[in-house]
Amino acid sequence: QQQVKQSPQSLIVQKGGISIINCAYENTAFDYFPWYQQFPGKGPALLIAIRPDVSEKKEGRFTISFNKSAKQFSLHIMDSQPGDSATYFCAASMEGGKLIFGQGTELSVKP
Amino acid sequence: DTAVSQTPKYLVTQMGNDKSIKCEQNLGHDTMYWYKQDSKKFLKIMFSYNNKELIINETVPNRFSPKSPDKAHLNLHINSLELGDSAVYFCASSQLAGGTEAFFGQGTRLTVV
């Protein structure tokens, strides 16, 4: 019940395309859903986050779509660029709790 | 100015040794964490401290002992290192315990030979 399932494991997108990564959770007590971006040799860094009272959040080229009834959320990267090539992690947490991470998606954007 | 810094960045040691990883944050956060990232890049929390008090202790072998001398520092000591301890260990901090952005350090790659 504490798991967050993420797919796909890897994704190859052409420059300018849309990258879509999906996550699903079980625990309805989760109330904070961040996405982290990790480059090789670096720590994860927060990209964008959403709370369950909002169905969509957009920051620049990055959008989170959140479906509370389906217990699913996704990250859309518009106009994907080679510099977006990294590993992306969805996560979930609750007040006073820990971050539960998805398995990660390795995104490669081809020029 | 680095927000969350951990040392060393790389650590190569033999089985059975004892080693420590240090972490410091200058963000004024109340909560600090240790996460482990395995060879498949899966990130899992190990410990969480809030104002120097342990609040989360996952099912981690008791060879791992965190110590928080003050709320800006959280160190990780590992006794009797085993091959399976090889991983990247990340320190992180956040203003609150859960529900807010966690800032991660650059990681310590531990290799046990």
pLDDT at B38: 95
Give the closest-approach CA distance of B4 to chain A in angstroms. Answer: 10
Kind of pairing, strands B87-94 and B31-37?
antiparallel
pLDDT one digit per residue (tens) for chain B, 113 residues:
779 999 999 999 999 999 999 999 999 999 999 999 999 999 999 999 988 888 888 889 999 999 999 999 999 999 999 999 999 999 999 987 777 889 999 999 999 99
Distance CA B97, CA A99 (A): 10
By C-alpha distance, which of B103, B41, B92 is closest to A104? Answer: B41
In contact, B12 and B113? CB cutoff 8 Å: yes
Nearest CA in chain A to B97: A96
Amino acid at A5: K
Tens of pLDDT, residues A9-35 = 999 999 999 999 999 999 998 999 999
SS3 call for B44: strand
Minimal Cβ distance to A94: which of B40, B45, B98: B98
pLDDT at B95: 87
pLDDT at B58: 84
Tens of pLDDT, residues A70-106 = 999 999 999 999 999 999 999 999 766 689 999 999 9
Give the closest-approach CA distance of B28 to chain A in angstroms. Answer: 18
Which residues of A are less than 8 Å from B99 in CB distance?
Answer: 31-32, 93-97
Q: Give me the residues paired with residue A88 across strands.
A: A37, A105
Which residues of B are less than 8 Å from A93 in CB distance?
Answer: 98-99
Distance CA A7, CA A24 (A): 9
